[in-house]
Structure 1
Amino acid sequence: MPVIKRLAFTATALALAASPAVAANTTLTNLTESQAFPAMQSTIKYTRVSTTKATGTGNYARATSTVRYDKATNSYILRDTGSLALTSTFDLDNADASSTPQFTVVKHGTNETLRIYNPGATTQGIALTYTGYGQWRRTGTPQFGTGTAVNDTYFVYGLKTPSADVPRTGSATYTTALDGTYANGTGVYAVNGTGSLTANFGAGTGTINYSANLAGVREGDSAALAGLGALTGGAGTITYRSSGFTSTVAATGGGFALGVNGNFYGPAAQEIGGLFRLTGNGGNGQGAIVGTRP
């Protein structure tokens, strides 16, 4: 009998070994399998008192994270920046009427909304293949005072470039798009814009230089965020072991400062994706920065 058991076990093991492994997705434009993608995310919290007033604005530390896609339900599963056990699932088949060719919008109950980029679509002049990003907004009752408490979490995920495949020579310039939220005493603003990031690759070390041209539109009445425009002079370093980069000198202009932190995406660093932090003029902002190169 023991021999029969060993033979049965061996046969099972051989059958499992002979089973083909499920292939991971090679792009985000046509997801054929469920997959957990490495991600970065950050959250800005504030209380929207009225169209022209916000309080308690604060940035919460960037965090490495995971964005999971479930093929069977065509859903994305996100997790909270602070509590990894807190997750929400968004079914793309239940898209809201406010969705566009560039972004799918999904409601989760009455207090949560996901706005996620549709890979392959052109947004602010670029189309991404290996990088995805989105905004997860949660609303509720503030702990103190009146108004609406808001958590805006921005996340970037995708197919990171393997460390060994990030170039070690030459340079590449990425055309970038930025998408985020900024809040100060005068209200809450949707921030959008374009820019440029140049990666200067080196055998032992690498650097980045970046700039952006941003605009802020206030939620509620579309008033412009005063002073926001061209931000220049940003610089930073490349960390090859993590296929990433981070700013050491912020891009500045109009009393604002813009810092970035991100990764290279695609099999040969064809794209970048990460987070930005916007500070100055009495407020704070967070958002996603993504880009492509020729």
Structure 2
Amino acid sequence: MDPGTYKRYHIHGYDSRKLLEDYFSDKAQMVFGEDALIFPIRNLTKTFAAGHIKGDILLDLSVGSLVHHLYSACEFFKDIIVLKVRDRCIMELKRWTDKRTGAFHWGHVAKLHADIEGKSHQLEDKEVKVRSSMQHVVKCDLEKENMTEPIVLPPADCIISAWLLEAISKDQDDFKRYLRKFSRLLKPGGHFILMACLGVTYFTVGKEKFHAFSYDEDFARKSLEGEGFIIDDCKVSKTTVVSDLIDHNGIIFIAAHKKK
């Protein structure tokens, strides 16, 4: 398939449940456990446990209907505001937060978090805390000056962006443009956590291939620094997975804060 014919994540429709099942589930055939679950959760747990990143509002700008990257964060923020570009993702998240029949099962992630944090006895409390924190799921338009128009969001203490920037960006300029938009949602001194695939040119959901912008650690660092961020931590994990679903060569985790 010609890369020019790949679909765009935020423009074309996609099966949000299939995305979760193929990349984030506990199914036997799901091969991305280390890349999509273990590596991010370990780094998130360590980062938040340090106690420097906390406050009133956490904004989540991430791909699909993910929940697992918010388990560590929910202990340190009063409110988590989740921004989504598609109604289907909002419906999927609402199904989980409201404990409706047919909601995606995140129990394997709750257990993983509890085990890594050494708090297995608090397994149920963890899910309750995440659900209670995620009371605001808001539709957004990434191309508008105010992405949540007509809603005006208060400045955030922290933003987490997981696997979104490479999915929505066409090229380097596009990546920097979206990063700048995200940065405007932060308070001075606010924190930004980026989790992303490196070297990826496409990802597959069902039978459809979607464009992804390929970049490396050096580009990620320079882009953040160019937008006025100071990098506090950066970890890269090379992937050992070979799959037709996605062609990434690694995962990056960056924690940074915005200059005051």
More helix by percentage: 2
More strand by percentage: 1
Q: Point out the structure with max Rg over C-alpha.
A: 1
TM-score using structure 2 length: 0.28
Q: Whose relative contact order is higher, 1 or 2, with alpha carbons under 8 Å and at least 6 apart? A: 2
